Amino acid sequence: MSDTTPPFDPSSTSGQDDPIQPIALQEEMENSFLDYAMSVIMSRALPDVRDGLKPVHRRIVWDMEQQGFRPDRPFVKCARVTGHTMGTYHPHGDSAIYDALVRMAQPFSLRHTLIDFHGNYGSPDFGPAASRYTECRLDPLAMQLLADIDEDTVNMRPNYDGSNEEPEVLPSRFPNLLVNGSQGIAVGMATNIPPHNLGEVIDATVHLLDNPDATSDDLMEFVKGPDFPTGAYIRGRAGIIDAYRTGRGSVKMRAKATIEEGRNGRYEILVTELPYQTSCSAIAKRIQELVDSGDLSGIADVNDGSAGGKTSLVITLKRDANPNVVLNNLYKQTQLQSSFSINMVALVDG
């Protein structure tokens, strides 16, 4: 059977009442991809500058408030929160909603958590327990994002099916975007904002309110730099200054490590704080690979003793190893020293 469909003629006016209209492929791709790109940018990947939240996080917090899952109420199953948020406000995959919920409870991801969690929220090395086992409720700080929302402080809009209303943005009594940061990859753009110290950001905000003409250099007197939840050291200020002045920069982070004399006269390198978004297991694996390949010498054993939210990576050296040389090589060849690329992009009047 042959295809007898006539070639598409853009000048033809026939079939205008037909629900299916022929259209040039290039035109359709251009229009549809633009719609898709704007949807990802506005509704999925980038935070709003006013409350520092992406739509999925905002909808979770709003839904939990509407359901009464406040700090003074009992914990509820995360599966219940995830399902209700998906069915009422966020018609996307339940696993993505649960991942967003858990991240707001992880003290190694957020500088100040927004969800009070009961159960295993995971670690930098492992994921959380299934939503049917874990429980949650709003953290007291999250209530500051919602404060006075019942006083017509923000605009409301219909949810995806018109059955309920949701806020366009949360009132937010503190600059959550700077306090907890944000990461996301949209279409043609991305954001990577580091977390900061709450007290420093509040002091800078008060100064800016009192002095509207204050410059970024003036505000840097209050906010000295990022404040990562995993600790570690920040080396140098050049990248921080570039980021605060231009919105882009790179911050070099170095693990907190001490050299101690262990048993049998061998030195040990004890790592107690790691750069942000790194993990003990990945670093230990990398060290073992370097030792096996002969690219790193002087190391006898690596033991990851991290537990209960405490980092403990013990690197035992050989008897003839110079601990300072080994430590410098570790900084050079592993994620014990890494960089955080700052890219401050957020939605304004979104």
Instruction: Determine which helix (DSSP H) or strand (DSSP E) holds 273, and give its type and residue range.
Output: strand 267-273
Amino acid, single-letter form, for residue 238: A
Q: DSSP label at 306?
A: -
Cα distance between residue 346 and residue 175, in whole Å: 13
Nearest residue to 81 (alpha-carbon basis) of 53, 116, 47: 116
Cβ–Cβ under 8 Å, residues 273 and 255: yes
Catalytic sites, residue numbers: 133
Which pairing describes strands 267-273 and 256-261: parallel, antiparallel, or unpaired?
Answer: antiparallel
Q: DSSP label at 276?
A: T
Q: Which residues contact 134 (CB under 8 A, 6 or more apart)?
A: 77, 78, 102, 117, 118, 119, 120, 121, 128
CA 290, 292, 293: angle at the middle one, nearest 5?
A: 65
- For every residue of 110-163, DSSP letters joined together read -SS-SEEEES----SSS-PPPTTT-EEEE-HHHHHHHTTGGGT-S-EEE-TTSS
Which pairing describes strands 182-185 and 190-193: parallel, antiparallel, or unpaired?
Answer: antiparallel
β-strand partners of 315: 269, 302
CA quadruple 180, 182, 183, 188: dihedral, nearest 10: -170
Cβ–Cβ under 8 Å, residues 252 and 236: yes
Instruction: Determine which helix (DSSP H) or strand (DSSP E) holds 339, and give its type and residue range.
Output: strand 337-343
